[in-house]
Amino acid sequence: CSYLWDVPISYRTLDANNWKDSNTWLLRNQKNIQIPRGQGVDWIKVNNDYMGYYAVNYDEDVWNIFASMMQNDAQRSKFTPSDRANLIADAFKLAAAAQLNYSIPFEFAKSLRKETHAVPWEIGYYALENIRLLLASSPTSSAL
């Protein structure tokens, strides 16, 4: 027996330094949705404030934009602490599922050097700890 649900999708854009929050639905009969990018919008951040129970996989170019923003003091503040945690969590989850190259989440991990909020740090710590545990249990762990 399988169950399907309609899923609310929240997303956020930044246009001329003004945030715009919007919502749409992924209906139970849909496998994906297209969110139109408005004029002057460089990117769309999906799952505002990490409220939805789903991971979002962006195009590699968008992942790289987000990773660069997270490493830049002025740009990082454009994301809420929950959004920063969400990006870190999704990047590591998708890499673990072989849906994203690990180079992307490791770029996000670099941003933790300048992170001052506990929520992104907690997410980053547990993601890196999971990798450490996997490596420690590998046959070559004595070489680490």
CATH of the domain at 23: 1.10.3480.20
In a domain, 1, yes or no: no
Region of 40 please: left (phi>0), alpha (psi -120 to 50) or beta. left
Share of the chain above pLDDT 90, in %: 63
Query: For residue 85, is pLDDT > 90?
Result: yes
Structural domain boundaries enclosing 115: 7-137
In a domain, 2, yes or no: no
Domain total for the chain?
1
Residue 3 corresponds to which tokens in the numbers above?
Answer: 């169950």
pTM of the entire structure?
0.88
40-56 average pLDDT score: 88
The confidence band for 60, taking pLDDT boundaries of 50, 70 and 90, is very high
Render pLDDT for 127-141 as a digit per residue (tens, 0 to 9): 999 999 988 888 876
Q: Pick the residue with more confidence: 92 or 142?
A: 92
Question: Cβ(115)–Cβ(121) under 8 Å?
Answer: yes
